[in-house]
Amino acid sequence: MADSVGGRARGWVVSVGSLSGVLGSEEFCVTAVCGLTREDVLSRLGVVHQESLPAYRMDNAVEHLGLDAWAVRLYAPSGAEWVYLFDVNGQTGVSHKRPVLKWLSEGTEAISVWSLIGSTTHVTQARDGEVVATCSTWMFEPASGSDPDRLNGALERAGFFREGGTEDDCDDALAALAAVEHEFGLEVEPGAVAGPLPTVIVPVQLL
């Protein structure tokens, strides 16, 4: 795990880890899927030809694919429990969309954080093909859904939903990343995430 740095959520200091270190508080969307291989994830995304996939770095993927591309970069560290999808264009939130989360979470679990600059941060948990909890930090309210307790607990420990907290000098994106990283045991190598990763277009029929 990368060295943590300080972040703030709802005026409370939180510890942020490696996801936060590589994504920061810029516009981004990241989704983690538990217990699948990279090939499993590609199959669920409808990718038939999985050999020789193009690989793009975080800082040049948009340059090659364009802002309108509904594309994700896949990070599947060897021996890890989670496979990660990083949206090429964080504004689109492709991997956070409900149909995609439902496909990815069939028989397993997925957790997704989508942050828009100057707007809000969305956190969604899906399990067994259903969205079980979702929260928009803009609403200042706990997550809703059929089973929101785990997500709410993680967000509360990161400083969300507490009475008496100030909204000044807060960073919801960093805090949300810290919350899911600690709760679900997410761990990435920032250098690997920033470097070239296999990249695919998410088929429109999944959306």
Domain-wise residue ranges, the chain: 5-201
For 85-95, the pLDDT digits (tens) are 999 999 999 99
- pLDDT reading at 37 higher than 60: yes
1: pLDDT strictly greater than 50:
no
Token code pair at residue 187: 């761990």
**According to the model, what pLDDT value does residue 123 have?**
97
Torsion sign over Cα 89, 182, 10, 162: positive
Mean pLDDT score of the chain: 87
Q: What is the pTM of this model?
A: 0.88
Q: Which range is most confident: 24-33, 41-50, 119-128?
A: 119-128
> What residues form DSSP beta bridges with 20?
none
Q: Which of 21-30, 90-99, 101-110, 156-165 has the lowest mean pLDDT?
A: 156-165
* pLDDT for residue 170: 64
Task: For 167-198, give the secondary structure using H, E and C.
Answer: CCCCCHHHHHHHHHHHHHCCCCCHHHHHCCEE
Per DSSP (E only), the strands in the chain are: 5-9, 12-16, 28-34, 55-56, 71-75, 82-87, 109-115, 121-127, 130-136, 197-201
pLDDT band at 163; cut points 50, 70, 90: low
> What percentage of the chain reaches a pLDDT higher than 70?
86
For a pLDDT cut of 90, what percent of the chain falls above it? 64
Which among 11-20, 23-32, 74-83 has the top mean pLDDT? 74-83
207: pLDDT strictly greater than 80: no
pLDDT bracket for residue 104 (50, 70, 90) = very high
Mean pLDDT of 102-116: 97
pLDDT value of position 36: 97
